[in-house]
Amino acid sequence: MAEEKAELKARIKASKDRVKVLSEQVQAAIKAKPSPLRADAVGWSGRVKAKRKLAGHFGKVVSITWARDGVRAMTAAQDGNVIVWNAPHAKKASLVPLKSSWVMFAEMTQDGAELFATGGLDNAATIWRTPGLGNLHKLEGEWYGHEGYVCSARFVGDSKLVTTSGDGTAALWDLNKPQTRKTDKEIDDRVTIYRGHEKDVSSIDLDPIKTDNFVTSSTDGTCMLWSLSQPTPNAVMRLVAPIKRQHCDINKAKFMPTGMAVAMATEARGALLYDTRTRAPLNTFNVSTPADVQDSAKYSLAFSKSGRLLFVACEDSSIEIWDTLLPDATKPLQTLANVHTARVTDVAVPASGLCLGAVSWDTFGSVTNP
């Protein structure tokens, strides 16, 4: 028996060594024969710069989202306020004071109903209605069920909401269903609970083509693909650390406009692009080596309308602009280094694709144009 175990271990080791050698040979072959896409990628020579500064918050700004008209933007900050902006003119259209200042996001519906959702350390998904997104606002309700903070959400039409939480789950809510009173001992308004992650679920994004599918990211180092109708994941995309004990946290996931790839903003690996069909990495965008991860954390990302450009929010207060056609790039096309003075927490591109919105811990937002 001992001899058989020893022989099996030797065969396993030999197989692992062989796989490692083959992997190195494949990578060497790829580098020796550059992708034909490189010739196309060289053509981009545009430059962008910040055009407007969104000043009005008095605390760390944590999220930005756009209305479907591409003109109004919404920001949420830890001063306990949500502000709707006329973004092209950097003017405040309305201000909504929240019940809890520990907000983590604000998200607007894209289907015509003037609704938006907020969430944070109160463990609730709160829905607001603002007719015309003007000065009038109304609290529609608070939906409870999560056992941890609620950190991101997406509307599915104007009657459903999908949220992610620090309790390791995502959840589907029916906004037409009367919510449970907070005084009830056992509160759970969730229609479907999506389980699969082992740690905090940090973000969610809907598939732009198949809107009944979505992706979640987690601090467990995975992104999972889901269908709204199933409580278990359809597929898992796993981030592997090149250095033992290195953080594999994924802070945000974002679908490419084609729906065929997902970009990930990570704590220590820069930004990555994964194929949703093969569940394998397509590209890496990182200026840091695996051993040099100080100030390299990425917190959010957004694609241009075509999907060619990837905007990445960074710990060092910069916004990196990458060309997704360049394989394994180590240098961004451009770095916006003077727009903000503290961590950039979120970036977003409106449906029109005409500008980039960003927010930061420096209490300001910004609108950047080509």
DSSP conformational letter for 39:
H
- Per the CB < 8 A criterion, the answer to whether 96 and 85 are in contact is no
Q: Identify the CA nearest to 167 among candidates 192, 142, 196, 141.
A: 196
The residue type at 246: Q
Q: Which residues contact 298 (CB under 8 A, 6 or more apart)?
A: 251, 252, 265, 266, 267, 270, 271, 312, 313, 314, 315
CATH architecture of the domain covering 52-369: 7 Propeller (2.130)
The residue type at 314: C
User: Which 3 state secondary structure label does DSSP give 129?
Assistant: strand
Task: Name the β-bridge partners of 199.
Answer: none
pLDDT of 137 reads: 79
Strands, E assignment, 59-129: 61-66, 72-77, 81-86, 91-97, 103-108, 115-120, 124-129
Dist. CA 264–CA 320, nearest whole Å: 14
Continuous H helices in 33-97: 37-41
Task: Name the β-bridge partners of 236.
Answer: 224
Report the run of H or E that residue 28 belongs to, with start and end.
helix 2-32
Terminal-to-terminal C-alpha distance of the chain: 69
Task: Give the strands of the sheet with 201-206, arranged side by side.
Answer: 201-206, 213-218, 222-227, 235-238
Phi and psi at residue 221, in whole multiples of 5°? Answer: 85, 20
Burial class (CB within 10 angstroms; exposed 0-12, middle 13-18, buried 19+) of 288: middle
Dist. CA 216–CA 104, nearest whole Å: 16
CA dihedral 106, 109, 114, 117 (to 10 degrees): -30
* pTM of the shown model: 0.85
Boundaries of every domain in the chain: 52-369
Percentages of the chain per state (helix, strand, coil), in multiples of 5: 10, 45, 45
pLDDT of 185 reads: 47
User: Which 3 state secondary structure label does DSSP give 4?
Assistant: helix
Ordered per-residue pLDDT tens for the chain, 370 residues: 677 778 888 888 888 888 888 777 776 776 665 555 555 555 555 677 778 999 999 999 999 999 988 899 999 999 999 999 999 899 999 999 998 899 999 999 987 668 899 999 999 999 998 866 556 678 888 999 999 999 999 999 888 999 999 999 999 999 887 665 555 546 788 999 999 999 999 999 999 999 899 999 999 999 999 999 999 999 999 987 555 555 689 999 999 999 999 999 999 888 999 999 988 888 888 865 554 554 579 999 999 999 999 999 999 999 999 999 887 677 899 999 889 999 999 999 999 999 999 999 999 999 998 6
Structure tokens at 138: 């109304």
DSSP per-residue codes, 240-290:
--SSTT----EEEEEE-TTSSEEEEEESSS-EEEEETTT-SEEEEE-SS-T
